Amino acid sequence: MLRAEQIAAQILPFEIAATLVIALLLRARRDHSTLRPPGYVWTSKRSPGPEDTLIGRSRSRAVQIARWTGVFLSVLSVCFSIFTYLGAWNYLRGDNALAVVAARFDKSYSEDASRPVRRGDKEWPQLIDIISKYTLINLPHNREPVVLARFVAITSAKTEIGGELKAEWTAPSTPIVLLYKDWPGHGTVGKEDFRIVGTIQDLHDWIRRDEADFDFFWRNIILGLLSACIGVFLALRA
For residue range 187-237, what is the model confidence (pLDDT) as tens digits?
778 888 889 999 999 999 999 999 889 988 888 888 888 878 877 777 776
Measure CA 97 to chain center.
15
pLDDT at res. 56: 65
Beta-carbon neighbour count of residue 159 at 10 Å?
Answer: 11
pLDDT at res. 84: 83
Q: For residue 41, what are the CA distances in angstroms to 14, 38, 44?
A: 44, 9, 9
pLDDT band at residue 2, thresholds of 50, 70 and 90? very low
Residues 6+ apart with CB under 8 A from 59: 236
Please tell me the distance from the alpha carbon of residue 70 to that of residue 150, in angstroms, as a whole number.
49
Q: Answer whether residue 8 shows pLDDT above 70.
A: no
More confident residue, 34 or 232: 232
Confirm if 33 and 64 have CB atoms less than 8 A apart: no
Measure CA 29 to chain center.
33
Beta-carbon neighbour count of residue 172 at 10 Å?
Answer: 15
Task: Note the pLDDT tens digit of each residue in 36-79.
Answer: 555 545 455 555 544 456 666 777 787 778 778 878 888 888 78
Long-range contacts, stretch 191-195, CB < 8 angstroms, 24+ apart: 195/137, 195/139, 195/140
Q: Answer whether residue 30 shows pLDDT above 90.
A: no
Closest CA to 74 of 132, 111, 20: 20
More confident residue, 48 or 150: 150
Instruction: Kindly state the average pLDDT of the residues 74-103.
Output: 86
Q: Answer whether residue 5 shows pLDDT above 50.
A: no
% of the chain surpassing 90 pLDDT: 29
Q: Answer whether residue 146 shows pLDDT above 80.
A: yes
In 113-163, DSSP assigns E strands to 117-118, 147-150, 156-161
pLDDT at res. 180: 92
More confident residue, 14 or 117: 117
Confirm if 89 and 214 have CB atoms less than 8 A apart: yes
